[in-house]
């Protein structure tokens, strides 16, 4: 029995979901919420398509690795939800198992015939549409339920997205497992790199050790050697080992029953082109690790991530000045936003069912939004931090020719000979996933715990 089989965890998860969803029904005046899992999409003029990814809210309710197409869930007040589960007779594909282990938490009805399922669904929904009642339908397309449903009403969506930031203990258990599988993959990737593997070889080592099929990954693995590490979401993988191996930046995570880890590590390579450059890069790696620890220590309920983003740039200014990459004071570097091209992405984001989980810029259940301030336009997390959120903390330092070129043209006080020395290392990112504990108790670092365990 895994931890997630524990009935008490599941029971508490469903109690939290049911209570919150009932409060949304109460507040918005809908008599039911109908969730559609969705169905397989296809490439243009093709009978093939991307792997099916169900509606994330359905993942929250079912927390299963496999959720079949065309499943529907009806949530109402005062009673457990009803799941309409499609399990066609099919000799092309294996049947998706119905989640019968959830039958104490929902009424599960399994249908081989899709028309029969839809007929029962319409019947069920119609019961909640009598008189002045309205039903909210949350699905990608409006093809299955009566057109009297309100499709994707913003007031319902905002509330459900806002709530997803704070995880139940059941969700945290899945995320710990995803962290452990990710850590196994990362350890294998590090060993493969040390023995001279190509980007592709490292990718395969990650998949095998993390036990992930490629389609299960929460996002495409970023396996970037040398200058590729300066491309924040580098998407290819060289098949041949590189002639020089200066650095590896690997950003890769695992997925357990729909919940993600998102982990980045950066290493100095086994065949650096220059010993001087390697020792400078190594010194930067050490500084960046301390820098990440400092930032994690500031993560606490009530903290504002925009302030932490600014703190990241303040520390980056110190690092760049201390290592002579910038020929000005740290204050000047920070005030003139000279650190921004060295780290043009946000410090982190919410993590959960989606790698960039929804609601990071949302201030409340009504959907008021806090856009990031101008110099930090890529920051995905601007809402105040609260207990039981899971967020990433991922400071970076890159040598991105495209961005630095502009600074060169503007005569910025940058030590170009050192930049040149380091360009072939691409950059550094160190990314952990942390859960906020009550104020004063620090964080649970899912990533560090997982690396220590596996
Ligand atoms: N893996 C994408 C990110 O770290 O945001
Ligand atoms: Mn991330
Ligand atoms: Mn990442």
User: Residue 67's pLDDT is what?
Assistant: 87
Is the same domain home to 146 and 235? no
User: Residue 68's pLDDT is what?
Assistant: 87
Q: Tell me, what CATH number does 314's domain have?
A: 3.90.230.10
Domain count across the chain: 2
Q: Tell me, what CATH number does 56's domain have?
A: 3.40.350.10
In tens, the pLDDT along 278-315 reads: 999 999 999 999 999 999 999 999 999 999 999 999 99
In tens, the pLDDT along 87-108 reads: 999 999 999 999 999 999 999 9
User: Residue 1's pLDDT is what?
Assistant: 41
Is the same domain home to 202 and 121? no
Is the same domain home to 340 and 196? yes
Q: Which of 36-40, 61-65, 315-319 tops mean pLDDT?
A: 315-319
Q: Confirm or reject: Cβ of 357 under 6 Å from ligand 1.
A: no
When the pLDDT of each residue in the chain is averaged and rounded to a whole number, the result is 96
CA-closest candidate to residue 34, choices 95, 114, 118: 118
Q: Which of 139, 163, 187 is the last residue of a domain?
A: 163
Ligand 2 being an ion, which residues bring their Cβ within 5 A of it? 262, 392
Ligand nearest to the CA of 265: 3
Q: How much of the chain, in percent, has pLDDT values that exceed 90?
A: 94
**346 C-alpha to center of ligand 1: Å?**
10
Choose the residue to mutate in 355, 395, 429 for probing ligand 1, maximizing ligand atoms within 8 Å of C-beta. Answer: 355
In tens, the pLDDT along 296-306 reads: 999 999 999 99
**Number of other residues whose CB lies within 10 A of the CB of residue 242:** 17
In tens, the pLDDT along 124-157 reads: 999 999 888 899 999 987 676 888 899 999 999 9
Is the same domain home to 148 and 173? no
**Atom nearest to 394 CA in ligand 1:** 4
Q: Is the pLDDT of residue 178 over 80?
A: yes
Is the same domain home to 123 and 206? no
Is the same domain home to 200 and 147? no
Choose the residue to mutate in 229, 392, 427, 434 for probing ligand 1, maximizing ligand atoms within 8 Å of C-beta. Answer: 392
Is the same domain home to 142 and 188? no
**233 C-alpha to center of ligand 1: Å?**
8
Q: Which of 135, 163, 191 is the last residue of a domain?
A: 163
**What single DSSP character describes residue 51?**
P
**66 C-alpha to center of ligand 2: Å?**
24
CA-closest candidate to residue 315, choices 297, 331, 336: 331
**320 C-alpha to center of ligand 2: Å?**
23
User: Residue 259's pLDDT is what?
Assistant: 98
Q: Which domain holds residue 212?
A: 169-453
Q: Which are the contacts of 189, defined by CB distance < 8 A and separation ≥ 6?
A: 202, 203, 205, 206, 209, 223, 248, 250, 252, 265
CA-closest candidate to residue 15, choices 159, 176, 136, 170: 170
User: Residue 2's pLDDT is what?
Assistant: 52
The residue contributing the CA closest to ligand 1 atom 3 is: 262
Q: Is the pLDDT of residue 164 over 50?
A: yes
Q: Which of 163, 186, 209 is the last residue of a domain?
A: 163
**431 C-alpha to center of ligand 1: Å?**
8
Q: According to DSSP H, which parts of 142-274 are helical?
A: 154-163, 169-194, 199-210
In tens, the pLDDT along 39-64 reads: 999 999 999 999 999 999 999 999 88
Is the same domain home to 159 and 182? no
The token duo for 26 is 């109460």
> What is the mean pLDDT of the segment spanning 324-328?
98
Q: Confirm or reject: Cβ of 219 under 6 Å from ligand 1.
A: yes
Is the same domain home to 342 and 281? yes
Q: Is the pLDDT of residue 3 over 80?
A: no
Choose the residue to mutate in 220, 221, 356, 396 for probing ligand 1, maximizing ligand atoms within 8 Å of C-beta. Answer: 356
The residue contributing the CA closest to ligand 1 atom 4 is: 262
Is the same domain home to 194 and 70? no
């Amino acid at each position: 029995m895994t931890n997630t089989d524990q009935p008490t965890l599941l029971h508490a998860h469903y109690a939290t979901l049911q209570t919150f969803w009932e409060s949304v029904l109460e507040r918005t005046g809908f008599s039911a919420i109908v969730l559609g899992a969705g169905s397989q999409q296809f490439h243009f003029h093709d009978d093939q398509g991307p792997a099916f990814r169900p509606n994330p809210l359905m993942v929250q309710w079912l927390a299963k690795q496999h959720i079949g197409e065309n499943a529907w869930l009806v949530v109402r007040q005062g009673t457990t939800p009803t799941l309409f589960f499609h399990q066609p007779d099919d000799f092309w594909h294996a049947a998706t198992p119905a989640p019968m282990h959830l039958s104490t938490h929902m009424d599960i009805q399994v249908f081989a015939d899709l028309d029969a399922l839809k007929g029962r669904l319409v019947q069920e929904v119609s019961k909640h549409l009598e008189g002045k009642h309205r039903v909210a339908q949350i699905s990608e397309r409006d093809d299955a339920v009566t057109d009297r449903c309100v499709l994707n009403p913003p007031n319902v969506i905002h509330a459900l997205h806002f709530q997803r930031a704070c995880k139940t203990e059941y969700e945290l258990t899945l995320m710990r497992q995803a962290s452990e599988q990710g850590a196994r993959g990362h350890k294998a990737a590090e060993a493969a790199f040390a023995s001279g593997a190509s980007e592709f070889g490292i990718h395969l080592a990650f998949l095998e050790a993390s036990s992930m099929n490629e389609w299960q990954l929460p996002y495409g693995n970023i396996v970037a050697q040398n200058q590729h590490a300066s491309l924040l979401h580098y998407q290819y993988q060289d098949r041949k080992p590189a002639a020089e191996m200066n650095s590896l930046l690997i950003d890769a995570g695992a997925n357990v029953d729909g919940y993600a880890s998102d982990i980045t590590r950066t290493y100095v390579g086994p065949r650096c082109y220059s010993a001087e450059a390697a020792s400078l890069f190594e010194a930067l790696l050490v500084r960046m690790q301390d820098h990440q620890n400092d930032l994690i220590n500031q993560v606490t309920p009530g903290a504002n991530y925009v302030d932490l983003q600014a703190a990241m740039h303040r520390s980056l200014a110190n690092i760049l000045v201390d290592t002579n990459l910038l020929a000005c004071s740290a204050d000047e570097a920070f005030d003139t936003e000279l650190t921004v091209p060295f780290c043009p992405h946000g410090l982190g984001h919410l993590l959960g069912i989606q790698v960039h989980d929804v609601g990071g810029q949302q201030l409340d259940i009504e959907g008021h939004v806090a856009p990031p301030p101008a110099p930090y336009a890529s920051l995905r997390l601007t809402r105040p931090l609260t207990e039981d959120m899971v967020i990433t903390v991922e400071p970076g330092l890159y040598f991105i020719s495209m961005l630095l070129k502009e600074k060169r043209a503007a005569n910025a006080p940058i030590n170009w000979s050192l930049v040149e020395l380091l360009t072939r290392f691409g950059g550094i990112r160190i990314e952990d996933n942390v859960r906020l504990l009550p104020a004063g108790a620090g964080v649970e670092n899912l990533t560090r715990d997982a690396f220590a365990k596996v």
